[in-house]
Amino acid sequence: MTQRREHRSQVGIVGAGPAGLVLAKLLARAGVDSVVLEARSRSYVEARVRAGVLEAPTVELLREAGVADRLDREGMPHSGIALRFADAPGGPAQDHRIDFADLVGKGITVYGQQEVVKDLLADRIDDAGLPVEFEVSDVEFHDVTTDAPSITWTAADGSAHRLHCDVVAGCDGFHGGSRAVAGAGGDLTVAERSYPFAWLGVLAKAAPTTDELVYAHHDRGFALYSMRSPEVTRLYLQVPPETDPGDWSEARIWDELQTRLARPGFTLNEGEFLEKPGVTGMRSMVAGPMRRGRLFLAGDAAHIVPPTGAKGMNLAIADVRVLAEAITRFYAGAGEGGFDGYSETCLRRVWRAEHFSWFMTSMLHRFDPGTEAGDPFGVGLQRAQLRYTVSSRAAATSLAENYVGLPHGAV
């Protein structure tokens, strides 16, 4: 058996998604060294299409961190969204714009998560020459309740490694192993909600038909119209959770999108699919506390939101801002006080985002799509909430304030 190689770093980070990479960047700026371990290859994580909406505080943070040059050049600033629905059953759908700029004086930026990841990897590896170990396996955390935790792994070439750290961060997403390690102490609580639907997502080479995102409430189910660039649209359909994307031909997907997004005067641009359609389940989950000893959970490792509120990546980045500050204060000699407050500070924002994501999901999806009789009470409530949201400045402001992102530390 080959001998395990020993390494040392102040912080060990598992996962090179938005949480892990932003944490590594914020620590590097504060003079704290870290090693990032990632199960996949660099090309895989750079091509993984997921979220695309950056809240205003996320954009500010990436600018402060010095990794927003391309984002500022290529990101698409949006100052509103449209809610599309029929005012009465069977009537034509209409758009109702939620004007973020007018209501809260801020907006969001459309910029793909994989572009954020590419920028962070280029900054860390190509510009700064700092380590990211790709294609690692058998990752395990050790001694997390001591002040000398470590991480072991097997590298792509089969060699065995151990990283000795002061702090370890579980940024390994929903399917990673860090949450189980945090739970092994017995005081982790997991709160969950599942939804009776999923999203079928497609990426198409088609110029956006509209400048802003459209959230459509339709009798056949929810549809979302969004974009990634002036040439590429990202579209979603509410589907049953057990849907096999292979059952959906391109023609069927476009037909369904045309139906659910129909509005007098609206033409949906079609184009070739740039990747295979995928189905994403809808789930809410919060695991807390987000700390066990010197192991800290961040991002999807600790919480999941349904994507209707566009909060997942933004929450991951908000978590690691708090964690980076706590670690920086620790190395500045301020002790573990920042560590003690980490979970509670993050969970306040997490629960606000959980509520907003649940609210948007509940208002916009059909819980009984395709049924003849439907659920008149449920749909009546949804339509009442939609009408209220677009006719009351107070209600519209609440949606806008949550959508663009409350300032970090505000809740």
Binding site for ligand FAD (CB under 6 A): 14-20, 37-40, 45, 50-51, 53, 113, 136, 139, 171-173, 176-177, 280, 299-300, 307, 310, 312-313, 316
Q: How far apart are CA 144 and CA 149, in angstroms?
A: 5
CB of 272 to ligand FAD, least distance (A): 20
| Closer CB to ligand FAD, 95 or 133, in the complex | 133
In the residue annotation, 225 being an active-site residue is answered as no
- In the bound complex, what is the minimum distance in angstroms from residue 117's beta carbon to ligand FAD? 8
Catalytic choice (111, 195, 215, 342): 215
In the bound complex, what is the minimum distance in angstroms from residue 289's beta carbon to ligand FAD?
A: 17
Which one from 195, 225, 236, 403 is the annotated catalytic residue? Answer: 403
- Output 173 or 369, the one with its CB closest to ligand FAD: 173
* C-alpha to C-alpha distance for 395 and 379, rounded to whole angstroms: 19
For residue 15, give the nearest of 191, 151, 161 by alpha carbon: 151
How far apart (Å, rounded) are the C-alpha atoms in residues 389 and 395? 5
Shortest gap between Cβ of 70 and ligand FAD (angstroms)?
19
Return the number of other C-beta atoms located less than 10 Å from residue 317's C-beta: 26
User: From the candidates 18, 306, 307, 369, which is the catalytic residue?
Assistant: 307
Task: State both tokens at 315.
Answer: 């929450």
Could you please report the per-residue DSSP string of 266-295? Answer: -------BSS--EEEEEEEEEEE-SEETTE
Residue 277 catalytic?
A: no
**For ligand FAD, the closer CB: 17 or 293:** 17
Task: Tell me if residue 307 is catalytic.
Answer: yes
Instruction: Provide, for the chain, the percentages of residues in helix, strand and coil under a 3-state DSSP scheme, each rounded to the nearest 5.
Output: 40, 25, 35
Between the alpha carbon of residue 107 and those of residues 52, 223, 290, 326, the distances in Å are 14, 22, 30, 29
Minimum separation from the CB atom of position 94 to ligand FAD (A): 25
Cβ distance to ligand FAD smaller for residue 141 or 254: 141
Which of 338, 384, 362, 395 shows the shortest CA–CA distance to 32?
A: 338
User: Among the options 78, 161, 217, 365, which is catalytic?
Assistant: 78
Bridge-based pairing of strands 108-110 and 76-78 is antiparallel
| Burial grade of 230 (CB within 10 A; 0-12, 13-18, 19 or more) | exposed
- β-pair partners for 168: 12, 295
CB of 193 or CB of 383, closer to ligand FAD = 193
- Token readout for 400 is 């806008």
Shortest distance (Å) from residue 147 CB to ligand FAD: 23
For residue 113, the minimal CB distance to ligand FAD (Å) is 5
Residue 123 DSSP label: I
Amino acid found at 386: L
Among 311, 342, 365, 369, the active-site one is: 311
Q: Which is nearer to ligand FAD, 173 or 338 (CB)?
A: 173
Per the annotation, the verdict on 78 as an active-site residue is yes
Cβ neighbors of 56 (< 8 A, separation 6 or more) are: 106, 107, 108, 109, 404, 405
Nearer of residues 104 and 224 to ligand FAD, judged by Cβ: 224
> Does residue 215 have an active-site annotation?
yes
* Residues with catalytic function: 78, 215, 307, 311, 403
